[in-house]
């Protein structure tokens, strides 16, 4: 995820508008989904959790992307 985050920063420098949701989603993955993925090892997974590790990472990715989409929507009026 570290290299993907750097790619997202490069995208941020090159482009500020995305033509469709797929492009926007990819950007959100690069700049925020990667943060979600990198946060899992930092915060850890409860050893008593019944949730498979793959689902934990999937949820962390979704949360990161959702946070970025929320930030973008918040800035639309500016």
Q: How far is CA 16 from CA 27, 46, 72, 73, 77, in A?
A: 10, 38, 11, 14, 15
Tens-digit pLDDT profile for residues 4-51: 999 999 988 987 789 999 999 999 999 999 999 999 999 999 989 999
DSSP assigned state of 33: I
pTM of the model: 0.86
Q: How far is CA 53 from CA 6, 45, 58, 65, in A?
A: 25, 8, 9, 19
pLDDT at residue 53 above 90?
yes
């Amino acid at each position: 995820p570290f290299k993907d985050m750097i790619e997202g920063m490069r995208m941020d420098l090159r482009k500020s508008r995305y033509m469709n949701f797929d492009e926007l989603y990819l950007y959100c993955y690069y700049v925020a989904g990667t943060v979600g993925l990198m946060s899992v090892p930092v915060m850890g997974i409860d050893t008593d959790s019944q949730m498979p590790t793959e689902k934990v990472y999937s949820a962390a990715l979704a949360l990161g992307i959702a946070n970025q989409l929320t930030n973008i929507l918040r800035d639309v009026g500016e």
